[in-house]
Amino acid sequence: MNKTTQNINDVNFILQEIFRFTSMPWSELKDLSEDHRRDFLCCVPHPDGRGGSLICGREAYNRFYELAKRCLSSEEKRDDFDLQAFTRSIREEFVRVFLKEQKEVDERSVSKMLAAAMKKIKKMQKSLTHYIPCVIVFENQPDRFQIGPVHFTTIENFLNDHRNDFEKKRHHLRNASIEHAKKAVEKGKMAANKIPTLEDSAKHADMMVDKLLEYFKGYKWVASVTIPPCDEKVSLERAQVTVEAALNVLRLFFGAFYGNKLRQGHSRGMITDTANLTRDADGNLFIAISQKLEHVPGGDNWFQTITDNYAFYLEAAGSALNSYLETEGSSHLCQRFLDALNWYGQAVTEQMTSAQIIKYAAALERLTVTKKEKDLTPVVTRRTALLNFDGSKEDFGRCKKDASKVYEWRSNLMHGSCSPFEKKLGTISNLAQRMTQCALFRSLGFFLFVEHTCGYTQNNLEESYQSWETKFIQA
């Protein structure tokens, strides 16, 4: 069955279900609300536009999702769409075309409905710049820096840069509140005497802006990144992923000890204030209070030090972040590095030592495994050693031994042969962190070399690894 026929069948089924529920007497609907609540809650907007709804049932409701997925499958930039938003747009157009205008269900009407829903959702897509408060370093210098497409600035700079914008927003919110109420009165959704006064609108506007500023002022840094046109929900997700990747780049340079404190404002951070209460055998109470600061000490000219000593790594890692802005055009090797970097960032911020080791190993696997293997251990350990050693066969042997130790503990944890509370895990996690950190740095140069000399495919990476291995691996 082709897509067109499936679409027509779905529309007919939805209509049949709506008519079935509409024709039910109240006694049956009451039983439905008690015995089949999910069906009762699945509705479409009423065609009269007054805010009511018509029951369509769960199965018909799911058909809207099938229509949306089928339609998006032929879109070139399908990842730019939020499936839920597009499905909602299809429901609205369905109501307009087949319930309000009562068009006959055929290939032309269904295609026009889907095209109208697509046009409507595309019209809403726009480029957005997202501002996300972050926890980074104590120091205010430099007061601005950049990692790829992500710009970081101090909260002082941020407030100064946008002071006029916030005041304009206050004014806009005041007027928008009254205008919205007037339109509601015109449509009969609100009584005229309920229109908010200018004072009420001002209070609401002040509350919105002041609450936002209060939240942002709780942080020393603000990240900003501009996402090309896509659905608003998709844009926010891409912005958060991109900023997190920029923080992961910093975590590479800071290491685990300080890197675990770096975070986006909305992310769960370490507990800064704690209190402990104990009682001894004689009944005496003991109180302990602890306070920790979130931001890390970067030191004088911390970012300049990174720029001067590790310019290539900073630029290469930052450039890779551009792949998060749009899904089209990202190379296979770039995506591998970003995936491994994500695992590294998760490991650094993980509280459980056992989980840290597993996530570090996942990063190493993503960097080194290029095809299905019966036994991953020799592949991962050999190539991890290649991405860590100093160039001599002696050091390659040492690195391979360390990589084998890390991977053996990872396997023991995954397969249940050791406890996640084993005391040795702290030492293993430190070793895993150092090896993963080095492997990520080295992979930037290696992947770029492969991409420029052979191409960025998975097969080319495998061949390059094999060529590199033959120089240092003895039979």
pLDDT in tens, 401-439: 999 999 999 999 999 889 999 999 999 999 999 999 999
Average pLDDT estimate for 132-147: 94
Among candidate residues 269, 321, 249, 228, the one with its CA nearest the CA of residue 133 = 269
Give me the half-sphere count of Cα atoms (radius 13 Å) on the Cβ side of residue 237. 11
Give the mean model confidence (pLDDT) for residues 186-208: 62
CA distance 472 to 395: 10
Q: What backbone phi and psi angles, to 5 degrees, belong to 290?
A: -135, 135
Query: What is the per-residue pLDDT for 182?
Result: 53
Q: What is the mean predicted confidence (pLDDT) over 128-153? A: 95
Q: Angle, to 10 degrees, between the axis of helix 425-453 and the axis of helix 353-368?
A: 20
What backbone torsions phi and psi does residue 53 show, to the nearest 5 degrees? -150, 160
Between 456 and 220, whose confidence is greater? 220
Largest CA distance in the chain: 89
Task: Give the mean pLDDT of the chain.
Answer: 89
* pLDDT surpassing 80 at residue 399: yes
Look at residue 35 and tell me whether its pLDDT is greater than 80. no
Q: What is the pLDDT of residue 30?
A: 72
**Residue 193 predicted with pLDDT over 60:** no
- Inform me whether the pLDDT recorded for 34 exceeds 70: no
Using DSSP bridges, classify how beta strands 150-154 and 126-135 pair: parallel, antiparallel or unpaired: unpaired
Name the pLDDT band for 298 (thresholds 50, 70, 90). confident
Please check the confidence at residue 200 and state whether its pLDDT lies above 70. no
Distances (CA, A) of 174 to 30, 113, 232, 251: 43, 37, 24, 43
Please determine, for residue 27, whether its predicted confidence score (pLDDT) is greater than 90. no
Amino acid 309 reads: N
For residue 13, give both structure tokens.
């089924």
Long-range contacts of 383-389 (CB under 8 A, 24+ apart): 383/465, 383/469, 384/435, 384/439, 386/465, 386/468, 386/469, 386/472, 387/438, 387/439, 387/442, 387/443, 387/446, 388/435, 388/438, 388/439, 388/442, 389/472
Question: 177 pLDDT band (50/70/90 cuts)?
Answer: low
pLDDT average, residue stretch 290-317? 88
Mean per-residue pLDDT, 7-33: 86
* Mean pLDDT calculated for residue range 218-229: 96
Q: Which residues contact 290 (CB under 8 A, 6 or more apart)?
A: 273, 274, 275, 276
Q: Mean pLDDT across the stretch 23-41? A: 73
Sign of CA dihedral 202, 207, 209, 213: positive
DSSP state of 266: T
Q: Which among 170, 447, 470 is positioned nearest to 331, based on CA atoms?
A: 447
Asked if pLDDT for residue 195 goes beyond 60, the answer is: no
Enter the tokens of residue 373. 């293997």
* Three-state secondary-structure class, residue 402: helix
Residues in the chain: 475
According to the model, what pLDDT value does residue 475 have? 36
Would you say residue 248 has pLDDT above 50?
yes
- Give the residue ranges of DSSP H helices in 292-331: 302-309, 311-320
Cα separation, 451 vs 330, whole angstroms: 12
Distance CA 217, CA 155 (A): 7
Residue 471 pLDDT level (bands cut at 50, 70, 90): confident
Dihedral pair phi/psi, residue 282, rounded to 5°:
-85, 0
Structure tokens at 269: 């951070």
With pLDDT > 70 as the criterion, what percentage of the chain qualifies?
91
CA distances from 172 to 167, 169, 192, 195, 427 (A): 9, 5, 22, 17, 57
| Whether the bond into 142 is cis, omega within 30 of 0 | yes
Neighbours of 353 (CB within 10 A): 20
pLDDT of residue 424: 92
Least confident of 5-19, 269-283, 317-331: 269-283
Confidence at residue 172, expressed as pLDDT on a 0 to 100 scale: 81
Q: Is 182 helix (H, G, I), strand (E, B) or coil?
A: helix
